[in-house]
Amino acid sequence: MKAATVLIPIAHGSESLECVTLINVLRRAGLEVTVASVESDLTVTGTRGVRLTADRRFIDTLDTHYDLIAVPGGEKGAEALNRNMPLIEKLEGQSDAGRWFAAICAAPALTLAPHGLLDGRQATCYPAFKDRLPKYVNQPVVVDGCCVTSQGAGTALPFALKLVELLAGAAKSREVARQMIFE
């Protein structure tokens, strides 16, 4: 059985803890994760000065379909991803096709909501941005249709494990959680 494929777009200002948690947990589960920089360089500076190196430039992923696109937060990073129209078009295509897309922290409010990707959906985000969501739910992780949202760095691990569950099954998610002593 072929591993599910995941795209994680990053930009200067992406929340470093969320990025690393997503990449680490999804790869632990055996998923095929591609980290893609929307910047001209592969290496971006995330929050707290943490340098993140992408596998590819985002522009080189345009012809590839993914089972999941997971957008990290960080206010500046989420705003930069919001301005990247090829990414927004890819997210819209993901939604239209009923394939998974996800966002955490500021990204639901600053990347997804401005483009109508949360219209009619319940979602969550970093609480300071809750007024920007059409249907805010105060939960760590919210799944509505093919969309998964989460609140922030402190919820990154349950968010990543939920994504594993959705792509690889509950047993795999529990296995990865046990390996990390997260029960």
Hey, which residues are catalytic here?
105
Angle at alpha carbon of residue 152, lines to 22 and 10, rounded to 5°: 50
Any residues with CB less than 8 A from the CB of 37 and at least 6 apart, and which?
9, 10, 11, 43, 44, 54, 56, 57, 58
CA distances from 82 to 73, 147, 164, 165 (A): 11, 17, 25, 27
Q: Are 154 and 127 in contact (CB under 8 A)?
A: no
State the CB neighbour count (10 A cutoff) for residue 134.
12
The crossing angle, in degrees rounded to 10, of helices 170-179 and 16-28 is 110
Cα distance between residue 28 and residue 125, in whole Å? 25
